[in-house]
Amino acid sequence: MTEPTLTISGVTAPGLEGVRDAFEANFREMDELGAGFAVIHRGELVASLTGGWADRQKTHPWEANTLVPVYSTTKGISALVLAALIDQLPGGYETPVADVWPEFAANGKGAVTLAEVLSHQAGLPGFASEIDPDLWLDPLACAAAIAALAPMWPPGTQHGYHPLTWGYIAGEIAYRLSGKTLGTVLREMFPDVDFRIGLPASDHARVADMMRPRALADLGELNDYRRAAFVHKWSAPNRGGAIWREIEIPSANGHGTAEAVATLYSNYASGGGGVVSPGIFEDLIRPRTHGPDLVLPMVTSFGAGIMLNTHGFFGPNPEALGHCGWGGSMATADPDEELTCAYVMNRQSNVLVGDPRAVRLVEAVYAAL
């Protein structure tokens, strides 16, 4: 059977032709299936590219309005929404979670602050004891179960990435502060942006097929934290079904286009974009942790939900911010250049942070600038 003809669509501003070349090279050299990439520079959309296929059979081209789950790249967006809500608290991020959500105080967690829980210091990376995986599909019940847990390490003493639990904690905090779900607040803050946490059934037909990684990620030497977060058979729900799309998991199931992701992350490149006050924005992005991660096999540094550029995957500026998602998605924000890049795709790799397809595109942007 003849291979379908690859089509690349979209625009790049003069001088960014190398970005289009890099995007095309991902298809030739890195087995890309379908993808989108967008760049915003000083408030202007300077590149928006789509290419490949939205389905495994390569019969439906990836279009400008094709949606794709971006997994943990959702966290940076959720963190921005939470910042706007936390701004109302006199103590800001230093407020104990239990002041907002009393049940969270169980098992010695009464002093854990919003800053600590959002920067992956709470010791709750997953469920060490077996649960029914369907619990993940009931956000209210799952949040209550997480609140009841004893931390796996003394909160505030170390940090370890919370791949899924972070979102249920963030979602419950948002609800306790606003009386609304985090996804609802997101829609109200950005009504014209094509990104949803909790995707209506009416939009499911626009979602690209996902191709799971062909190999497991390298987690290094397994410990109890990594097993709870990633390895146990109950560490994650069935991802991809209708229920999974429709519920809200602010750590993992945001759906959008590359342009939408770039638009939202551009607030990090512009001092909060006017959607959060300057003071709370500084508290959101300032380093809360730095060092060996108990869950990810690498050194990481986090603000209150946003990842800092410890590893250089977000470009050459050490002050850049961003987040990566399971399988390869990535969004970056450089406040010095007022530059935002967002990469989304549907063929997942097993790279935990800094998928080479995304890194190649970000490097091409900086080379052009």
Burial track 233-262 (b if 16+ CB lie within 10 A, e otherwise): ebbbbebeeeebbbbbbbbbbbbbbbbbbb
Yes or no: say if 95 and 86 are a contact pair by the CB < 8 Å rule. Answer: yes
Q: What is the pTM of this model?
A: 0.97
User: Would you state the pLDDT for residue 241?
Assistant: 87
**Residue ranges covered by each domain of the chain:** 74-192+221-248+282-329
User: Would you state the pLDDT for residue 202?
Assistant: 97
Residue spans of the chain under pLDDT 70: 1-2
User: Would you state the pLDDT for residue 168?
Assistant: 98
User: How many angstroms separate the CA atoms of 7 and 13, rounded?
Assistant: 19
Yes or no: say if 142 and 101 are a contact pair by the CB < 8 Å rule. Answer: no
User: Would you state the pLDDT for residue 239?
Assistant: 87
> Residue 363 in 3-state DSSP?
helix
Backbone phi, psi, residue 293, to 5°: -85, 130
Q: For domain 74-192+221-248+282-329, give the CATH superfamily.
A: DD-peptidase/beta-lactamase superfamily (3.40.710.10)
Helix (H) or strand (E) holding 339: strand 339-345
User: Would you state the pLDDT for residue 1?
Assistant: 55
Model pLDDT for residues 254-284, shown as the tens digit of each residue: 999 999 999 999 999 999 999 999 999 999 9
User: Would you state the pLDDT for residue 247?
Assistant: 97
